[in-house]
Amino acid sequence: MSQAPGAQPSPPSVYHERQRLELCAVHALNNVLQQQLFSQEAADEICKRPLSQLALPQVLGLILNLPSPVSLGLLSLPLRRRHWVALRQVDGIYYNLDSKLRVPKALGDEDGVRAFLATALAQGLCEVLLVVTKEVEEKGCWLRTD
């Protein structure tokens, strides 16, 4: 079938979710998969389930993106900005290395860092990035299989 001269071909049907709230990770997943497979609740559940399966000794560190209150001096504003926080184990103790802290804050052993992560995830709008070596990433051994 031929088109009329000057007619534009119809664009392909492309699935595209637009930004709503701060759900860009969910929108990005669905846009890449070209269908609505993930909801905020499903994404949250996925984040919570691997938390108990993390093979923390294989993880070099964690970087969290968290909501952070905005203040002007002593005045706290009803605004939230995003803030990146590093967690790292040193000599068997996990530390919160938040750049806003005066000194690193000890979180304790694996249970302590898992509790910190659970609290951060429960507050919502938290992203967790794992920092692993190339070997660990290639083997996928940052998750326990038991």
Active-site residues: which are they? 24, 83
Question: 15 near 31, Cβ under 8 Å?
Answer: yes
Backbone angles phi, psi at 134, to 5 degrees: -60, -40
Closest by CA position to 85, among listed 41, 116, 44:
116
Distance of CA 47 to the CA centre of its chain: 8
Q: Is 145 left (phi over 0), alpha (psi -120 to 50) or beta?
A: alpha
Please tell me the total number of residues recorded for the chain in this structure: 146
CA distance 108 to 95: 7
CA distance 49 to 118: 10
